[in-house]
């Protein structure tokens, strides 16, 4: 037996139906906000990812040489690809550009519950917008997207990386390592990095700031602790909250100045959304404002984006009791006796042509076995073609939900199916 690679999964029909239901909800949310769908390749040149994150990222990537000897990697996320696409081809489109994509991403990490090597993301970006309005719009989409899926219990935490970047300006090249330690709440490493940068005096302040969480009062406290350098970022968050109030969302977010996000390209507002119903890997999504285009050699373009993890949203929705519809078959057509097979195929073709999801017996089962099968695959209706009935121009239509069975003129079967199921 050949096993699937570690950290990957197979999706059976029931799992895939959930996946599609959630994808559909996310897509509808994005389109209701005027975002348009794009797609980028699964495999990219390795440089695309090392350009922004440095060679250290290679350890976390599925990176390899292709047959032409080129260094390539499976995408670990979408943002870098979207920006590459933007810089090479989308630059001339009217701005702001509101783009979304859905697909798989790969990270070479230790698999555990909620953390896989192949996983699926819904990603949205706004490129070339004024940043405050774009950030608010993006956050509003992230919240609306989760609502569309049916989640009600998520917590959105918003911070601003510019606050710490301004405060740690003197740290120079060590800033990234300090931010990384703050992101991981690794206070031992923080102490070492601060000492290395000659900034040990800031240790207590930084620890206090990343522990601040709450409403507007938290911003006042941060302004007091961090001083004037951090003022623009603090003020930005105040205005962001005001802007969110225009969406009716002022109270939908909590300020959390501990949201740092490890990736080096974030420069502005940053946010994370958690579900309390998941285990250790409870973050269902996150994002923020960034300046990736410059890192990839393009002109600056105000950008803000987020990704939601499908593999966490689905169990979070199930934990909240969101109804996940199993795969559905509209009708299962059952010929009883050899001669009715021809008539059965006529009916199958007619219903399929009208857009219904229809299946029929392929292996010559008897009628009761066929009804069991129809039941097991979730058929809503069974169409039973008995020879006597057929001679009288009729077929039996059985509602698999209620068990009720009625004889229907064959000529009006399509209309009857449509009236029971709704036209497709």
Interacting residue ranges for ligand AMP, rule: CB under 6 A: 77, 107, 109, 115-116, 119, 121, 283-286, 307, 309, 311-312
- What's the closest the beta carbon of residue 104 comes to ligand AMP, in angstroms? 10
- What's the closest the beta carbon of residue 138 comes to ligand AMP, in angstroms? 14
- φ, ψ of residue 304 to 5 degrees: the values are -150, 140
For the chain, helix (H) and strand (E) counts, in that order, are: 16, 17
Residue 47 φ/ψ region, left for φ over 0, alpha for ψ in the -120 to 50 degree band, beta for the rest? alpha
Nearer to ligand AMP, 104 or 205 (CB): 104
Nearer to ligand AMP, 122 or 236 (CB): 122
Helix (H/G/I), strand (E/B), else coil: 321: coil
Nearer to ligand AMP, 183 or 193 (CB): 183
Nearer to ligand AMP, 125 or 330 (CB): 125
The residue at minimum Cβ distance from ligand AMP is: 309
Q: Is the Cβ–Cβ distance between 175 and 165 less than 8 Å?
A: yes
Nearer to ligand AMP, 103 or 327 (CB): 103
Q: Is the Cβ–Cβ distance between 96 and 305 less than 8 Å?
A: no
- What's the closest the beta carbon of residue 180 comes to ligand AMP, in angstroms? 14
Peptide bond before residue 96 is cis, with ω within 30 degrees of 0: yes
Report the alpha-carbon distance of residue 53 to residue 264 in Å, rounded: 6
- φ, ψ of residue 283 to 5 degrees: the values are -80, 115
Could you tell me the two tokens for 38? 């794009």
Nearer to ligand AMP, 310 or 371 (CB): 310
- What's the closest the beta carbon of residue 32 comes to ligand AMP, in angstroms? 21
- What's the closest the beta carbon of residue 124 comes to ligand AMP, in angstroms? 12
Nearer to ligand AMP, 157 or 394 (CB): 157
Q: Is the Cβ–Cβ distance between 259 and 270 less than 8 Å?
A: yes
DSSP, res 112: B
- What's the closest the beta carbon of residue 94 comes to ligand AMP, in angstroms? 28
Angle at 262 between CA 267 and CA 260, to 5 degrees: 60
- What's the closest the beta carbon of residue 26 comes to ligand AMP, in angstroms? 12
Report the alpha-carbon distance of residue 326 to residue 363 in Å, rounded: 24
């Amino acid at each position: 037996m050949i096993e699937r690679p570690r950290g990957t999964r197979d999706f059976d029909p029931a799992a895939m139906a959930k996946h599609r239901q959630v994808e559909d909800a996310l897509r509808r949310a994005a389109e209701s906000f005027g975002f348009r769908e794009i797609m980028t390749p699964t495999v990219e040149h390795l440089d695309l990812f090392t350009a922004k994150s440095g060679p250290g990222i290679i350890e976390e990537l599925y990176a390899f040489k292709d047959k032409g000897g080129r260094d390539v990697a499976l995408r670990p996320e979408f943002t870098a690809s979207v920006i590459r696409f933007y810089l090479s081809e989308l630059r001339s489109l009217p701005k702001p550009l509101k783009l979304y994509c859905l697909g798989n991403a790969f990270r070479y990490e230790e698999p555990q519950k909620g953390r896989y090597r192949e996983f699926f993301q819904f990603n949205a970006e706004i490129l070339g917008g004024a940043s405050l309005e774009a950030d608010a719009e993006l956050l509003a989409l992230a919240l609306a997207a989760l609502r569309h899926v049916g989640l009600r219990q998520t917590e959105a935490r918003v911070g601003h990386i510019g606050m710490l970047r301004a405060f740690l300006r003197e740290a120079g090249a060590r800033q990234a390592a300090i931010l990384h330690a703050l992101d991981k709440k690794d206070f031992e490493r923080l102490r070492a990095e601060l000492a290395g940068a000659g900034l040990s005096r800031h240790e207590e302040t930084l620890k206090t700031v990343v522990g601040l969480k709450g409403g507007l009062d938290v911003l006042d406290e941060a302004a007091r602790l961090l001083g004037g350098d951090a003022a623009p970022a603090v003020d930005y968050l105040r205005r962001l909250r005001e802007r969110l109030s225009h969406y009716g969302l002022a109270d939908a977010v909590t300020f959390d100045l501990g949201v740092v996000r490890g990736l080096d390209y974030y420069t502005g507002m940053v946010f994370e959304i958690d579900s309390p119903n998941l285990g250790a890997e409870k973050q269902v999504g996150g994002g923020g404002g960034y300046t990736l285009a410059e890192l990839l050699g393009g002109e600056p373009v105000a950008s803000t984006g987020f990704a939601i993890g499908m593999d966490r949203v689905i169990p979070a929705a199930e934990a909240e009791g969101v109804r996940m519809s199993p795969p559905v078959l509209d009708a299962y057509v059952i010929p009883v006796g050899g001669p009715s097979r021809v008539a059965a195929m006529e009916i199958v073709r007619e219903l399929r042509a009208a857009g219904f999801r229809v299946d029929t017996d392929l292996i010559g089962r008897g009628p009761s076995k066929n009804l069991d099968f129809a039941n097991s695959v979730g058929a809503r209706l069974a169409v039973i073609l008995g020879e006597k009935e057929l001679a009288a121009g009729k077929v039996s239509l059985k509602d698999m939900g209620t068990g009720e069975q009625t004889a229907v003129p064959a000529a009006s079967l399509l209309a009857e199916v449509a009236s029971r199921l709704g036209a497709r």
